[in-house]
């Protein structure tokens, strides 16, 4: 998938819009930087390709990658680097009214 077409195909397959701001970034390119340990953008067309094999026996590799990234973020935060913190937004749950509201 080309980076320019990522939001279109996300909408097509997951039936919801890809909103990079929910992940604390401004663009799809910035969103790809968050997962740079599992994907690569190749060539001048910025085609997104997986760095992990298709035939993995276990998904434990994602737990290990996540834990390694968490430790790196904590190390950077402890050194005073404010940009290392994740800034994820909350997506509203559809169909649930806030407490105290009446229809």
pLDDT in tens, 17-36: 999 888 888 898 888 888 88
59 found inside a domain: yes
100 found inside a domain: no
As to burial, measured by CB atoms within 10 angstroms (0-12 exposed, 13-18 middle, 19+ buried), residue 31 is: buried
Query: Residue 3 in contact with residue 28, Cβ under 8 Å?
Result: yes
Specify the residue for token string 């992940």: 23
* pLDDT band of 10, cuts 50, 70, 90: very high
97 found inside a domain: no
95 found inside a domain: no
13 found inside a domain: yes
33 found inside a domain: yes
Confidence (pTM): 0.61
94 found inside a domain: no
Least confident of 49-53, 75-79, 80-84, 92-96: 92-96
Least confident of 14-28, 50-64, 84-98: 84-98
Q: pLDDT value at position 35?
A: 85
Overall domain count for the chain: 1
Q: Over the chain, what is the mean pLDDT?
A: 82
**Structural domain for 25, as ranges:** 3-84
Q: Is the per-residue pLDDT at 97 higher than 70?
A: no
């Amino acid at each position: 998938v080309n980076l320019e077409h990522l939001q279109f195909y996300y909408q097509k397959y997951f039936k919801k819009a890809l909103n990079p701001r929910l992940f604390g970034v401004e663009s799809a390119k910035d969103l790809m930087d968050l997962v740079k340990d599992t994907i690569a953008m190749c060539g001048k067309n910025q085609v997104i390709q997986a760095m992990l094999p298709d035939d993995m026996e276990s998904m434990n590799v994602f737990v290990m990658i996540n834990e390694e990234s968490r430790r790196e973020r904590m190390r950077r935060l402890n050194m005073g680097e404010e940009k290392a913190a994740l800034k994820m937004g909350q997506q509203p749950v559809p169909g649930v009214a806030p407490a105290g509201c009446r229809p």
